[in-house]
Structure 1
Amino acid sequence: MKSALVLTAALALGATLVSAPARAAGPAAVAQVDPSLWTEAIDRRPGFDKASRAALLVYVGALDELRRLPDADMTAAFGVKSLNRASVERWAARETDLALANYRAASIDCARYAADWTCLDAVPASASALTSAATAWAARLPAGQAAWHANLAAFARTYVAEQMRLAALFPKTTSEIDRFNDGEWNGDALPDTRFLLSFDDGPSAPGGSTDDTLRMLATARRSGVFFLLGGNLQARVARGGADALAAAYRGQCVASHGWEHQSHQRWDAWQDSVTRTQALLRTTFPEAMVAPWFRPPYGQRTADSGAFFREQGLRVALWNIDSQDWNARVSANDVTGRIVTLMLIKRRGVLLFHDVHPKAQVALPVVFARVGTAVEWQECREAPL
């Protein structure tokens, strides 16, 4: 019965996923959560760790449930014509291993809280042991946690399906779901509870959403990496000049997102897109502001692109926490809940936003307040390469 319910939910998700834009390989149904159902503060490390332990145990359960779907059911559920099962298994195994490491990090003080319902009797020694322990744990939740658990379990299943669908398509359709070489990074290697902000697709026209986002970050004293489109940058410089634009981005880092927002996996001129944008960045901004990174639109790039990027002195910069702020079905409040929940699960990483949309400027101040001093925000100039 349990697996049947999971399959029904996955198939319902797949019915909407199939209508998503093929080139972006993104979901039309997006994992959303009600963060108010977790009633304890997470703005300091003990509270963050407790919420993290609980979220991880739910997440591991969802990973295990969807991972067990047969190929035919998975293909139907994800709305794909063919399934790269090996890619799905590789992603699921890697994600379960990360969850084990994250649960261990979140449990470092469990010895002090013997009655804490989010602390297992013993920290699992393996990923499979964590999965078994999570299944037993879910059967003995304390009274009053049923609504929280049901809501988070639904979020976790939908999120896992989002990611498994990307894995099912990889590498026929590339994305942030996997890396081709060590010249690509996605945030998984950052230290525990450290996060880097990133913003795609700008700059907007003068006085637009990019400017509002930059002011929000200056007020919050946070920095991030802005992956700029060369065409948008050229238009903005023509309207306001390079000096004014560099001043607007002061305190931030800029990097290339290519000349225009189309898949570099399917565009013959993708190398020119990279070099033209890189040249414009260098002539527009002080050298110290230009990060040696390239973020491919949609995360799509060719499997053999590593040598080109090494020659250009660039690394491919992916992400591991997607806000989905571009999606019309997702509100700023939805973005806040999604980001905070994924921070609890991932415990480190690169957050993806889009400064040409207004949701980040609304959601991020709430995120900053919600997590407080429990996490560290990576200064963009000091981000590890």
Structure 2
Amino acid sequence: MRLVLLLLTGLLSAAVQAAPLEVATFDRRYWPEQLDTPTLFDVASRAEILGFARVLHESEALDEGALAKRLNLRQVNMVAVAALRQRLWQQLWRNYDLAQKSCEQDASFCYVIEHLGDLRQQAEKFEVAADSFYTAWAGPARVFHQRYLDEQLRKAALFPQTSSEIERFSDQERNGDGLNDRLFMLTFEGGPGPATDALTDYLRRQKLDATFFVLGNGIQARRDKSSINDLRALYQGQCVGILGWEYRSHAHWQQWQESVMRSAARVQGDLPEQYVPLFRPPYGQRRADSQGFFASQHLQVALWDIESQDQSALTAEQSAQRVLSLMLLWRHGVIQFHDNQPKAQAAVAWLLKNTAQSGIGWEDCKAYAARQQ
């Protein structure tokens, strides 16, 4: 019976999904200014918001067939897509309203926008003049916004058959929505691995902390290879949540509850000072009816808002540039990196260097874990 269910799940997935889309990335050198003041961060933020709003508006003209073709899918959940679009518009309006507070200091990309309807109207006609200081940014930015929007629409189109971070199932799940404007949080998953030691040491030297979502079997292997004291030194000053015992989808795995409980017990026992009661579902995949289980375990599902794509073919700098563009667009959120990727540290270093004077902040990992979403 289990084999039959697995085969049916695979067949349904194949019937819905086709080839994946190209990963969205953007070369920040096309933007002509350094983000070395909070005001210049706002200028770049307004540009990203308006550019993304333009392609979002254009996507609404697509019928179901045209959208499926564009997303390389055979079927599309149009209800989930409509819900995503509505949520994106609300986020864009809130973010633009925050970003326009500095228009007296620099009026670039400032328009009379007093409510969501104004933003929609401006998005419909938004363009960068051929003689603008920002002309070189406009074309590459449009490609980035289009590809990134397609990434989000595709996840919504597949939801909930294929769950992801695109939507929460309940209040037992959290992302970065509760963070203040300009406040971001670093998270890493997939470890511990060979790259984790240098990364945690780097973060401590930068006086930063992050939440590391670890594998139970990885923690056990690391402890067996070294010692529990070495394990605790590895994550000193950081927070440690769980990914489960193995890095595999917890949506259809029969032993998913055992995976969660076993890894939570392992990490809480070995790292009592660093442990936080947060579960990051591998690939963002989890069951729609799992909230009762997580509540019984005193765990929250920890999703993310900004995906670095550092496990793709992107270089460290390309990954960091993608993250920065999305930080400008969303203005707050949880950033997902993978510490089983050596490029993660280089990406974070680039990101810190290029936002040092921009007026952003980094959320304390313990404070985030203690938040009520």
Number of aligned positions between the proteins: 353
Q: Counterpart of 1:8?
A: none
* In structure 2, distance between residues paired with 1:139 and 1:237: 56
Contact kept, 8 Å, 1:117 with 1:142, in 2: the verdict is no
Deviation at 1:141, TM superposition (A): 6.4
* In structure 2, distance between residues paired with 1:139 and 1:110: 18
Counting only pairs closer than 5 Å after superposition, residues 8-47 of structure 1 correspond to structure 2 as 18-20=18-20, 27=21, 29-47=22-40
The partner residue of 1:285 within 252, 260, 271 is 271
Structure 2 gaps of 5+ residues are 1-16
Q: Return 158-167 or 363-372, whichever deviates more.
A: 363-372
* In structure 1, distance between residues paired with 2:50 and 2:130: 11
Q: Counterpart of 2:110?
A: 119
Residue 66 (str. 1) matches residue 55 (str. 2):
no
Contact kept, 8 Å, 2:18 with 2:74, in 1: the verdict is no
> What stretches of structure 1 move > 4 A for 4+ residues in a row?
139-142
Counting only pairs closer than 5 Å after superposition, residues 47-58 of structure 1 correspond to structure 2 as 47-58=40-51
Contact kept, 8 Å, 2:77 with 2:157, in 1: the verdict is yes
Contact kept, 8 Å, 1:66 with 1:161, in 2: the verdict is no
* In structure 2, distance between residues paired with 1:308 and 1:131: 41
What one-letter code is carried by the residue in structure 2 that aligns with 1:53? R
Contact kept, 8 Å, 2:95 with 2:331, in 1: the verdict is yes
The partner residue of 1:359 within 314, 326, 343 is 343
What one-letter code is carried by the residue in structure 2 that aligns with 1:59? F
What one-letter code is carried by the residue in structure 2 that aligns with 1:160? L
Deviation at 1:304, TM superposition (A): 0.5
Q: Counterpart of 1:152?
A: 141
What one-letter code is carried by the residue in structure 2 that aligns with 1:135? E
The partner residue of 2:262 within 270, 276, 294 is 276
The partner residue of 1:381 within 366, 370, 373 is 366
Residue 109 (str. 1) matches residue 102 (str. 2):
yes
Q: Counterpart of 1:7?
A: none
Cα shift readout 1:280-308 (whole Å, capped 9, x = no counterpart):
0011112x311111011111110000000
* In structure 2, distance between residues paired with 1:139 and 1:37: 14
Superposition TM-score, scaled by structure 2 size: 0.92
- Between the two proteins, what is the percent identity of the paired residues? 36
* In structure 1, distance between residues paired with 2:289 and 2:175: 18
Contact kept, 8 Å, 2:308 with 2:336, in 1: the verdict is yes
Cα shift readout 1:139-176 (whole Å, capped 9, x = no counterpart):
64652422201111110000000010000000000000
Cα shift readout 1:8-35 (whole Å, capped 9, x = no counterpart):
xxxxxxxxx9334xxxxxx4x1001110
Residue 209 (str. 1) matches residue 164 (str. 2):
no
Counting only pairs closer than 5 Å after superposition, residues 291-306 of structure 1 correspond to structure 2 as 291-306=276-291
Structure 1 gaps of 5+ residues are 1-16, 21-26
* In structure 1, distance between residues paired with 2:208 and 2:164: 27
Q: Counterpart of 1:238?
A: 224
Contact kept, 8 Å, 1:319 with 1:351, in 2: the verdict is yes
Residue 314 (str. 1) matches residue 299 (str. 2):
yes
Contact kept, 8 Å, 2:57 with 2:123, in 1: the verdict is no
What one-letter code is carried by the residue in structure 2 that aligns with 1:77? R
Superposition TM-score, scaled by structure 1 size: 0.89
Q: Counterpart of 2:322?
A: 338
